[in-house]
């Protein structure tokens, strides 16, 4: 399979799975393994970060009105937008700390480790089952809840744990309104992804790992952006009435298939 075709497939997978609670990173790692992607860890991470940047951009497009209101509210202290921005920054702390302290170790996890991905998909499924039983989800995101949701996002760095699934489930289990939980979950990751992209661009090793990959990275970016737009809008329309247990069934089934395929 050509490099460009692999990039297209990975981009579509990323865009479709970023906003659904089924682990886009897990899907990417499984796709890399079964498509025969033998990239080094740094090269693999370059594609992963690029695809995540594409879905971050699609998030900004879908929530462009919210983002504009947030920026406008930053100049009005104690406004709702200012408080929301404070909560976003607070939620970033755990994942940012993990990323800075254990960056090298994290990169090694993105090396087509099928057993790890399968195990984390099972974990995601169990988390979704727990959230599916949550009731009385009518509260707002508080500073403590934002920090706890941030811890869930930090744990979801592991391939196979759905970031949206972990943050949405944590929010729901904490009693946060489902629509507000989705909005917060989708927007809280954008600063982290943009920060990671900026760091990689300033890092000579990161730039070297991208050499020769630009056509594939561009195609993957476009595919992930377009499909991400569609998936984000679809998920927003379903979030209030979504049955998370069905996504859990999917995670269990994918984990089983991945394990069987790896064992053969």
pLDDT in tens, 48-107: 778 888 988 999 999 998 888 777 776 776 678 888 888 998 999 998 899 888 877 887
Average pLDDT over residues 162-171: 91
pLDDT of residue 198 exceeding 80, the answer is: no
Report yes or no on whether pTM surpasses 0.75: yes
Average pLDDT over residues 2-29: 84
Average pLDDT over residues 15-20: 84
Q: Cα–Cα distance between 78 and 71 in angstroms, integer?
A: 13
pLDDT in tens, 167-183: 989 998 999 988 888 88
Average the pLDDT over each of 162-166, 213-217, 221-225 and give the range with the smallest value: 213-217
Provide the 10 A C-beta neighbour count for residue 139: 14
Average pLDDT over residues 199-218: 68
Burial 34-55 (b: 16+ CB within 10 A, else e): eeebebebebbbbbbbbbbbbb
What's the mean per-residue pLDDT of the chain? Answer: 83
Position 138 confidence tier, pLDDT thresholds 50, 70, 90:
confident
Q: Where are the domains of the chain?
A: 3-263
Q: What per-residue confidence (pLDDT) applies to 40?
A: 44
pLDDT of residue 209 exceeding 70, the answer is: no
Average pLDDT over residues 237-250: 79
Please answer whether residues 262 and 33 qualify as being in contact, where contact means their C-beta atoms are separated by less than 8 angstroms: yes
Q: What per-residue confidence (pLDDT) applies to 38?
A: 58
Higher per-residue pLDDT: 207 or 160? 160
- The string of DSSP letters for 99-152 reads HHHSHHHHHHHTTT-HHHHHHHHHHHHHHHHHHHT-----BPPPHHHHHHHHHH
Q: What are the C-alpha distances in Å from 151 to residues 96, 102, 147?
A: 10, 15, 6
Higher per-residue pLDDT: 227 or 138? 227
DSSP state of 176: B
- Listed residue (180, 191, 135, 127) closest to 156, CA to CA: 127
């Amino acid at each position: 399979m050509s490099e460009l075709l692999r990039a297209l497939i990975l981009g579509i997978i990323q865009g479709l799975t970023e906003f659904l609670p089924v682990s886009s990173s897990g899907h990417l790692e499984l796709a890399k393994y079964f498509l025969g992607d033998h990239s080094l860890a740094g090269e693999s991470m370059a594609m992963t970060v690029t695809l995540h940047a594409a879905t971050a951009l699609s998030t900004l497009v879908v929530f462009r009105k919210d983002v504009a209101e947030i920026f406008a509210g930053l100049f009005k202290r104690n406004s709702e937008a200012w408080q929301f921005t404070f909560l976003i920054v607070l939620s970033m702390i755990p994942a940012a700390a993990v990323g800075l302290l254990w960056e090298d170790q994290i990169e090694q996890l993105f090396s087509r480790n099928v057993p790890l991905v399968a195990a984390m998909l099972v974990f995601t499924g169990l988390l979704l089952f727990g959230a599916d039983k949550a009731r009385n989800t009518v509260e707002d995101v508080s500073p403590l809840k934002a920090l706890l949701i941030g811890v869930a996002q930090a744990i979801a760095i592991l391939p196979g744990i759905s970031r949206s699934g972990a943050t949405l489930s944590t929010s729901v289990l904490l009693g946060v309104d489902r629509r507000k939980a989705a909005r917060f979950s989708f927007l809280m990751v954008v600063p982290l992804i943009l920060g990671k992209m900026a760091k990689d661009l300033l890092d000579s090793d990161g730039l070297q790992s991208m050499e020769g990959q630009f056509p594939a990275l561009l195609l993957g970016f476009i595919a992930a952006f377009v499909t991400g737009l569609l998936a984000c809008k679809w998920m927003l329309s379903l979030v209030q009435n979504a049955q998370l247990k069905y996504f859990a069934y999917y995670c269990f089934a994918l984990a089983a298939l991945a394990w069987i395929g790896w064992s053969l």
